Amino acid sequence: MDYNNEKQLSDPLLPSAESGSGPEAAPGRRSSIFAKTVGIAEDVVTRPVDIMKSSTFVDDYNKVRAEALPLTKAGDTGNFFHNFRWGDPNHDPTQREIAKVSLWRMFSYSTVRERCLMVLGLVLSTFTGLGIPAWLVLLAQSLDTFSNIGMLLSKVEDSQDNMDYLMKELTSLCTAFAVVGLICLVTGFGYVSIFSYTGEMQSLRIQKAFVRASLNQDAAWFDTHNRETLPTKMGTALVHINNGIGRQIVDVYSNAISAAGCLAVALVLNTKLALVMLCVVPFAFIILMLFNFCIRRVKRRASAENSSAGGIATESLAGIKTVASLCAQPHFTSLYSHHISESSRLNIRASFLSSLVAGVTGGLFYVTYIFAFYIGTEQVAEDMERITIIRCLFSQEQNCRVTGASVMCCIYGVILCVTFFGLMGPGLSVVNLARSAAVEVFDTLLRQPPIDPSSDKGTRIDGGVSGKIEFKKLCFTYPSAPDRPIFYDFNLTIEPGQSVALVGPSGSGKSTIARFLLRFYDPNQGSIIIDEKYPLNTLNISWFRSQVGYVAQDPLLFPGTIRDNIAMGLNAHGETATNEQVYQAAKDACAHDFILGLPDGYDTYYGGTSVQFSGGQLQRICIARALIRNPSILILDEATSALDQMSETHVQNALAHIREHKKVTTVTIAHRLTTIIDSDTIAVINGGKIAELGDHKTLIEKENGIYRTLCESQGIKPEDDATSGLATSTDDADIETKSDVEDGKAEGSAMPLDDEIPQDDPTEVPQASMSSIWRQIGGARAFVELLIGIVGSGLVGCLSPCESILTAQIVTNFYTVDVDDMLQANKEFIVKFFYFALAALVGNMMVGYGLGRSGNKLAQKLRIKSFGSMMNRSMGWFDLPEHTTGDLTSILGADVEAVSGLVGLPLGYRVRALVSLLTGISIALKYSIEVGIVAVMCVPLIMIAGLVQSCCVRRRFASNTAGLSPGTIMEQGLRGIASVQAYGLESKVGADYEVALEPESNGKVKQGMVAGAVFGFTQFSVFVSFALVFFVGSQLLIQVKIDFISFFTSVLAVMFGALGASTVAADFNSRQKGLVAAARIYTTFYGPSDGSHEDQGTVMPIEGDITFQSVKFSYPSRPDSSIFYESDTMDGVSLHVAPGESIGLVGRSGSGKSTVLQIVMRFYDITGGSASLDKKYEFADVNVKTLRSQIGYVGQLPTLFNGTVKENILLGKEDATDDEIIAACKLAQCHEFVLNLADGYDTHVGPGGNILSGGQKQRVAIARAIIKQPRILILDEATAALDNESQKLVQAALDDLSADYTTLTVAHRLLTVKNCTKIAFLGDGGVLECGSHEELVALKGNYRELWNMQGGGSEEAE
């Protein structure tokens, strides 16, 4: 087909331009390429079958793509090809509508009972909200009681009756205050407890539903959602949702009721004055809106920076061994510090703006006082005329005239109205933040995945699947890469019981076939038929997966015992596995013996990242899990790549035995061809279709065939017997006898069961002291900033009680000053509110500057210091169960946030409240010692609530200290989502998450009950305290021991101080939480260091001479189980590698091969013997950074980091040039595929390098090691994940490098180490055999047997 006949079409990526020569010709060339692409797209859409059969289509497509890559701008390539998806050239899946989550939707997870409780809670919060308006009414009445003596005298005749009547009025008022307090106690406790309970229950259901919904999403969803950051991101979102549907929303309602009630009281008491004051409110709201708009923008940017830092922390901590091997701790620490510093800078700005708006609005209200009291004074003066007073005495109307009480209470009514309205702001922000955070959560909850394993729809075949599979004319592109077709016209038939092997280069689509069979994806075109008549997409997904056994390339176990992990193969679908079934499956997978050698056998607990089983041990457990279900279809995706040859032989023979006795259709994906040469059919995939098909004998005899070429590259010759690569059953028995697991001395470490771990007191948890927090602040400038913030908070806090002095004087003048002099007398005090306005502005600005900087700088310092400390911890530290990635990132996130409140804005709130209380008491003591003493006696009543809450909070935290955290369980489940879905473990992981969540949720419910009791008691104590003070003061006034102004000033001072102090009790929760969080953070500061950041040790160029002499070793997390140890036949590990030599380390899984490499890398130090470098220095005496900088390391499971290909390679050598990068990539055989990526070397590989295949990631990792030009090269199964051709080329390159460098290679393919200078066979805690390949073959020992098993015997004979 000729696509060079260009159509006159415009390129959507460029403006129209005339083509020409030179640089200006690019637009014309792009239009030409665009026209060719359109031609291809039209043919694909109109006649796909013919196109797929065309042998030139792939070449045409790739040519056009190759032309386009150099001409597209960064980021344009995907868009250029994105619109030409199969069958839909206009498809653009990036466009979607984001629905706003309504409040009704957010409450949709409540039960009928909870809805009834919430209605009751709203009623109770209404009464609580009316408490302050009721207080205003009572205050006005009390003032009138004292002031309107004329009205009292008109009702009684003698003085005793006057006194009795006055006492009766006072008693009624004090009783009313106490009754209001009692009502607030009951209603406050009720509504806070109810909404804390219902909010937590709903949040719990949402979390459970979200985890289950996430686990049930299809693979395409996970392609667009970062699994590394999803737990942290969603954890934050769920916290916001919990806040938004819990107490915060009802507090908003209660504050609204209080605002409305205070406004109503103000309008009733003095309508004209209230309306005048309300004119100021719009200006205040405009200011608030403008500031809040700026604050939201700044906070969004800060949140984005913080999220980036969180992603960096998650990736680097999860790949800590790779980071340490590259000496990249400073790089990631610097990168993390940059994002944290930028986030801190933005948060400081947001804090200052928040305080500034508080100062502006506070100052505005004090200015409003000036006008309000001035107008109120005029109103009182006008109504003080004799005629008005006489008329009011006879009418007995309560609001007949404007009194001082009505003016004061009206002013405070409006001010309190606006204040409560302002208090709705934080609550509304929380609710709106919850609605925003809920968008993605509810999108996931409401999303019905096209491939839904939880669905009951679909056919279930009676009697199970027989195993016939037909792939018919499959066309497929991954949704995340629609411009890169995988299959064009794929056809393959697999008969029941047949063993089919899929081979081909990396990225050819082998693993895609496995994903089809597991229904992770459906093809874009074509069909997959099961048992001749059932299309795969019509079968019930969960049921079909239960018929399939799956073992992935990357083994994954779940937290629990080894027995539980194997039994999951049956238990996930409702069947209960017996011990006999578990043991038999483990025997079939060649895992039984090494499991028995573990500390607790099958009951050994695996805690996720805290355990170090070798790759082979993990893989065999996973194979046992697949075999226990007796599957009809068995999928092995490089399932034995991590096994040594002996274990692989056992497993292969076990699989063959199973196939003999049961018709199991086996689909095997492998690069090591010795594992599949006895397959019934071998399919070679190349160019999006089957290139060759047949059995081993047929394909290997095909001249110039792809399969034959692959076999020859692995030393398999056409004349070899097809079964020579595998040992017979008799051989198995002999090998089993000679190569038993070393009496439990398997490589790795395992946790004892919970009952063996000493447990701390579950009711108490450690907490830091405030003195330690002060030490963390450090620096004179930091303390000056903190002092400025504290002084500013104190200044703002003392304004409210000091305000009582002016208010009392003004109101007193209403009753005691002649009407002609009242305005002049009050003016002197009214203008002083201007100074209060100035103080409010300055004080809040001091708070924003001082505490805003102090809190955020402390958070920045703790995060950077904690993360830096984590980066420099030893590998043994990361092996501990409390140091999982999820737990460590939680420390960097929520814990640091809690600690920052100890010296940030929350500290200002505490200082403000305490100063308000102390100032109020001091003023009361100044004006009336008796009233002040009563106020002091009431302080314990107010403060006791906070102390009770503090104790309860401290005990609550202890309930969450045992077991894996919910975040860790979610992280592990999402990271291994393929195995989770393949085995139907969605419900199991969800149930584990719920179990881990239950103690935390129960603690929160109890805390909500405590918070409700504290809140209600605080409200009650404030009203009761005011009633007591008021009663004592009135008694003193009646007895003429104090005058009215002293009484009124002391009462108002205590009142304002008590209201401020009520916030202290509510804040004890955050303070206690911060101290507990600080103790957790401090645990990361101290611990064993890996030494990479220290200057200790000898610094010198390495020659590469390595000597082990009687080395003993056990992992720090399991010191009683040795890897290398003294036995009857040997004394630990002894070996020597001269500079420039290469040594291959072989042996059974768990024999300690990777342990040798980790000792050389100084990941761990030996526990006995001698390990020396260059015959001069012990490894323990060499500077760690110097050592690792001269070692190139490639691990068995490649780890890439979020960033570009170039950035990942530069981790090996920061100052490498582009030419050096390209040279390293060419040596690692990755240059070509990198150029074919969307942006070449600038292509982002995604978190963990998830856009690359396993082989591609491995080649980039090899390039990263090569670019260092190391003196020692360490390869831990470095080529295991490569296809055969790439493996051959890379191995040749590595062999060339080995001539110059000392090389240590761990490999299961003996051909990989055949050319090494010497080969060491490890076992029984030491080195069983050591020598060159020829010497070991001639020795006819363990190595010779292993060599023969891999088909080497025929080659030697030749």
Q: What is the mean pLDDT of residues 142-159?
A: 52
Confidence of residue 571 (pLDDT cuts 50, 70, 90): low
CB 991 within 8 A of CB 179: no
- Evaluate if residue 822 carries a pLDDT over 80: no
Give CA–CA dist 156/1262, Å, rounded. 103
3-state secondary structure of 400: coil
Give CA–CA dist 953/950, Å, rounded. 5
The C-alpha angle 762, 763, 765, rounded to 5 degrees, equals 80
Token pair in block for residue 665: 């259709």
Give CA–CA dist 991/814, Å, rounded. 70
- Evaluate if residue 187 carries a pLDDT over 70: yes
pLDDT value for 888: 86
Report the candidate in 77, 43, 38 with the shortest Cα–Cα distance to residue 57: 43
pLDDT value for 1250: 74
Q: Which of the pair, 470 or 406, is modelled with greater confidence? A: 470
pLDDT value for 40: 52
CB contact set of 499 (below 8 Å; sequence gap of 6+):
659, 665, 666, 668, 678, 679, 680, 681
- Evaluate if residue 731 carries a pLDDT over 50: no
Residues 920-942 have pLDDT tens digits of 888 988 888 888 888 778 777 76
- Residue 226 burial (CB count, 10 A): 17
Report the candidate in 540, 374, 406 with the shortest Cα–Cα distance to residue 465: 540
3-state secondary structure of 778: coil
CB 367 within 8 A of CB 411: no
- Evaluate if residue 690 carries a pLDDT over 60: yes
Confidence of residue 338 (pLDDT cuts 50, 70, 90): very high
CB contact set of 1238 (below 8 Å; sequence gap of 6+):
69, 77, 78
Report the candidate in 354, 348, 244 with the shortest Cα–Cα distance to residue 302: 348
CB 53 within 8 A of CB 489: yes
What average pLDDT is seen over the chain? 76
- Evaluate if residue 123 carries a pLDDT over 90: yes
What sign has the CA pseudo-torsion 1135, 1139, 1141, 1146? positive
CB 347 within 8 A of CB 300: no
Residues 160-184 have pLDDT tens digits of 565 666 677 777 778 888 888 889 8
E strand or H helix that includes residue 1215: none
Report the candidate in 649, 257, 681 with the shortest Cα–Cα distance to residue 468: 681
pLDDT value for 842: 94
Q: What phi and psi values does residue 311 have, to the nearest 5 degrees?
A: -65, -40
Give CA–CA dist 565/619, Å, rounded. 12
Q: Which of the pair, 1345 or 225, is modelled with greater confidence? A: 1345
Q: Which of the pair, 1109 or 1005, is modelled with greater confidence? A: 1109
**One-character DSSP codes across 1134-1193:** EEEE-TT-EEEEEESTTSSHHHHHHHHTTSS--SEEEEEETTTEEGGGB-HHHHHHTEEE
Residue 53 to residues 45, 49, 260, 490, Cα–Cα distance (Å): 14, 6, 76, 10
Residues 492-548 have pLDDT tens digits of 999 888 889 998 876 778 888 888 888 888 888 889 999 888 899 899 888 888 888
Tell me which of 159-168, 183-192, 553-562, 899-908 is least confident. 159-168
pLDDT value for 397: 54
Q: Which of the pair, 1273 or 280, is modelled with greater confidence? A: 1273
From edge to edge, which strands make up the β-sheet containing 485-494?
Answer: 485-494, 469-477, 525-530, 534-535
Residues 1152-1185 have pLDDT tens digits of 888 898 899 888 888 888 999 888 888 888 888 8
pLDDT value for 116: 92
CB contact set of 1096 (below 8 Å; sequence gap of 6+):
1183
Q: What amino acid is encoded at 530 in this protein?
A: I
From edge to edge, which strands make up the β-sheet containing 1302-1306?
Answer: 1191-1194, 1272-1276, 1302-1306, 1142-1147, 1318-1323, 1326-1331
Give CA–CA dist 1020/184, Å, rounded. 6
Q: What is the mean pLDDT of residues 969-980?
A: 77
pLDDT value for 1094: 73
> What CA dihedral angle connects 826, 828, 834 and 839, to 10 degrees?
-110
CB contact set of 843 (below 8 Å; sequence gap of 6+):
359, 792, 793, 795, 796, 799
Give CA–CA dist 516/189, Å, rounded. 56
Tell me which of 781-790, 1017-1026, 1209-1218 is least confident. 1017-1026
Please tell me the number of Cα atoms within 13 Å of 302 on its side-chain side. Answer: 18
E strand or H helix that includes residue 527: strand 525-530
Helix, strand, coil distribution of the chain in percent, nearest 5: 60, 10, 30
pLDDT value for 760: 40
Q: What is the mean pLDDT of residues 940-958?
A: 58
Q: What is the mean pLDDT of residues 1205-1218?
A: 90
- Evaluate if residue 52 carries a pLDDT over 50: no
- Strand 1318-1323, strand 1142-1147: pairing: parallel
Q: What is the mean pLDDT of residues 701-710?
A: 82
Q: Which of the pair, 1251 or 789, is modelled with greater confidence? A: 789
Confidence of residue 1282 (pLDDT cuts 50, 70, 90): low
pLDDT value for 737: 31
In this structure, what DSSP letter does residue 1303 have? E
Q: What is the mean pLDDT of residues 719-746?
A: 38
Confidence of residue 1301 (pLDDT cuts 50, 70, 90): confident
- Helices 230-245, 247-269: crossing angle, 10 deg rounding: 30
- Tell me whether residue 1215 is exposed, middle or buried, using C-beta atoms within 10 angstroms of its C-beta: 0 to 12, 13 to 18, 19 or more: exposed
Tell me which of 118-122, 451-455, 960-964 is least confident. 960-964
Q: What is the mean pLDDT of residues 382-404?
A: 56
Q: What phi and psi values does residue 229 have, to the nearest 5 degrees?
A: -95, -10
Q: Which of the pair, 84 or 1009, is modelled with greater confidence? A: 1009
Return the beta strands (E) in 1060-1141 as ranges.
Answer: 1106-1114, 1122-1124, 1133-1137
pLDDT value for 10: 37
- Evaluate if residue 150 carries a pLDDT over 90: no
E strand or H helix that includes residue 795: helix 780-816
Confidence of residue 1288 (pLDDT cuts 50, 70, 90): low
**One-character DSSP codes across 939-968:** HHHHHHHHHHHHHHHHHHHGGGSSS--HHH
Q: Could you tell me what percent of the chain has a pLDDT over 70?
A: 76
pLDDT value for 261: 92
- Full 3-state SS string of 716-771: CCCCCCCCCCCCCHHHHHHHHHHCCCCCCCCCCCCECCHHHCCCCCCCCCCCCCHH
pLDDT value for 376: 83
Residues 1040-1081 have pLDDT tens digits of 787 778 877 887 887 777 665 554 444 555 677 788 888 888
Residues 80-101 have pLDDT tens digits of 333 333 333 333 333 333 345 7
pLDDT value for 972: 73
Q: What is the mean pLDDT of residues 893-899?
A: 83
CB 904 within 8 A of CB 855: yes
Q: Could you tell me what percent of the chain has a pLDDT over 90?
A: 7
- Residue 1246 burial (CB count, 10 A): 17
Tell me which of 19-28, 356-365, 503-512 is least confident. 19-28
CB contact set of 491 (below 8 Å; sequence gap of 6+):
471, 472, 473, 474, 689, 690
Tell me which of 35-39, 814-818, 892-896 is least confident. 35-39
> What CA dihedral angle connects 285, 288, 293 and 298, to 10 degrees?
-170
Give CA–CA dist 89/9, Å, rounded. 15
Token pair in block for residue 302: 């800060």
Q: What amino acid is encoded at 159 in this protein?
A: S
What is the reported pTM? 0.65
**Alpha carbon 994 to chain centroid, angstroms:** 17
Give CA–CA dist 477/496, Å, rounded. 28
Tell me which of 232-241, 703-712, 1153-1162 is least confident. 232-241
Q: What is the mean pLDDT of residues 1195-1202?
A: 80
Cα end-to-end span (Å), the chain: 49
**Alpha helices in 589-693, H assignment, sequence order:** 592-596, 615-627, 645-661
pLDDT value for 697: 86
